[in-house]
């Protein structure tokens, strides 16, 4: 879409009918592609997510984060502001939750202030799903424990599309289930504790990619093969086959026991470094959801090299979250209008 076009010319995809974004596992390929197309259009319309467009003026987005966050919280805030919405920032430390108020009561209190979306992050899987049942506003999952992180999976896929697929995926005639056909994407690292991995797994497979899950046996179970994913325990054996490597952080804070003898040993077997890069495809795409641990999952020469799109992922996070806020708000408006008509 040309940046000079009016925001009124952004078309709402008929396939999208959800007032909440809770996970990618239950979305169809067509619904996922609708978000990605909308994100791409909004990125262009806002000149790389830098310019404001008045699509959501008069609405309010509340960020309810019960875990630490830098990228996701700021990304959602910027996404809302880029579209003209206001934001409310909530932190569990020093809040009424610390005084004994329940999570749901806190969310209902925030909703009663007139918010249109609640963006939530919590250590307990299923928390956003609970809020979606209890609240009347739109709910977006910004990470629920090790379960899912849908907007992170979406921004990763948008980055791959923009770098490797050309423009065919933007056409309405494109088959959503074959957008990534013929592409091999490897997720490397702490799969056992990664919500980012799960959202990527469901999204990539629905759009037709071949997905390899790679990491130590203590973090990558062969049970994933039962769901149709390839499992590998040595990065050196698969790196030459991959079009994309997504390097996941080792989440020591979620581990009850050390899953490998030392960080040094992990880096020796799984870190993407210059030597491994020389065995990869010439146009391999290197990704990481962040925060990155330099020298553990990836070396500085690779993180800052020409194959890396790590910072572009951050920009695409704003685009995906703009699209999510806009789609959910319009879906809820349409559903409310239909209910009023039936009444």
Give residue-wise pLDDT tens across range 75-123: 999 999 999 999 999 876 655 665 568 999 999 999 999 999 999 999 9
From CA 337, how far away is CA 187, in angstroms rounded?
Answer: 42
Q: Taking the model in full, what pTM does it have?
A: 0.93
pLDDT of the residue at 231:
98
Q: Is 290 annotated as a binding residue?
A: yes
Q: Is 72 annotated as a binding residue?
A: yes
pLDDT in tens, 160-200: 999 999 899 999 999 999 999 999 999 999 999 899 999 99
pLDDT of the residue at 3:
47
What's phi and psi for 142, nearest 5 deg?
Answer: -100, 20
User: What is the token pair recorded at 327?
Assistant: 């789609």
β-sheet with 138-144: strand ranges across: 86-91, 60-65, 117-122, 138-144
Domains of the chain from N-terminus onward: 10-148+315-330 (3.40.50.1370), 152-310 (3.40.50.1370)
pLDDT of the residue at 97:
62
pLDDT of the residue at 327:
98
Q: Is 152 annotated as a binding residue?
A: yes
User: What is the token pair recorded at 187?
Assistant: 């997720």
Residues of the chain with pLDDT under 50: 1-3, 254
From CA 292, how far away is CA 309, in angstroms rounded?
Answer: 13
HSE-CB of 152 using CA atoms within 13 angstroms:
28
Q: Is 210 annotated as a binding residue?
A: no
pLDDT of the residue at 291:
86
Cα→Cα distances 159→36, 67, 116, 139, 327, Å: 10, 26, 28, 24, 20
Q: Is 178 annotated as a binding residue?
A: no
User: What is the token pair recorded at 22?
Assistant: 């809770």
3-class DSSP assignment, residue 280: coil
What's phi and psi for 327, nearest 5 deg?
Answer: -65, -45
pLDDT of the residue at 49:
97
Q: Is 259 annotated as a binding residue?
A: no
pLDDT of the residue at 68:
85
β-sheet with 244-247: strand ranges across: 230-232, 210-214, 184-188, 244-247, 285-287
């Amino acid at each position: 879409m040309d940046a000079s076009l009016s925001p009124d010319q952004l078309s709402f995809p008929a396939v999208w009918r959800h007032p909440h974004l809770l996970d990618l596992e239950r979305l169809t390929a067509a619904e996922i592609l609708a978000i990605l197309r909308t994100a791409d259009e909004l990125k262009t319309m806002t000149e790389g997510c830098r310019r404001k467009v008045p699509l959501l003026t008069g609405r309010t987005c509340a960020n309810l984060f019960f875990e630490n966050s830098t990228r996701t919280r700021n990304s959602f805030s910027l996404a809302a502001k880029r579209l003209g919405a206001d934001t409310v920032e909530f932190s569990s430390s020093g809040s009424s939750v610390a005084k004994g108020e329940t999570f749901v009561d806190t969310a209902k209190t925030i909703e009663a202030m007139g918010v249109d979306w609640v963006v939530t992050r919590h250590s307990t899987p299923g928390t956003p799903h609970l809020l979606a049942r209890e609240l009347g506003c739109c709910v977006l999952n910004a990470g629920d424990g090790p379960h899912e992180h849908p907007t992170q999976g979406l921004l990763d896929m948008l980055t791959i599309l923009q770098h490797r697929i050309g423009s065919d995926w933007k056409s309405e005639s494109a088959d959503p289930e074959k957008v990534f056909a013929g592409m091999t994407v490897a997720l490397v690292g702490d799969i056992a504790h990664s919500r980012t991995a799960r959202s990527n797994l469901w999204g990539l497979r629905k759009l037709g990619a071949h997905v390899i899950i790679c990491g130590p046996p203590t973090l990558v179970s062969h049970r994933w093969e039962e769901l149709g994913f390839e499992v590998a325990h040595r990065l050196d054996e698969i790196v030459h086959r991959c079009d994309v490597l997504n390097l996941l952080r080792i989440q020591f804070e979620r581990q009850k026991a050390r899953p490998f003898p030392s960080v040094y040993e992990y880096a020796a077997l799984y870190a993407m470094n210059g030597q491994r890069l020389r065995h990869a495809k010439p146009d391999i795409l290197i990704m990481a959801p962040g925060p990155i641990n330099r020298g553990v999952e990836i070396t500085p020469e690779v993180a800052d090299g020409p194959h890396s799109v790590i910072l572009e992922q951050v920009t695409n996070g704003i685009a995906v979250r703009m699209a999510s806020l806009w789609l959910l708000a319009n879906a809820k408006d349409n559903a409310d209008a239909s209910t009023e008509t039936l009444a």
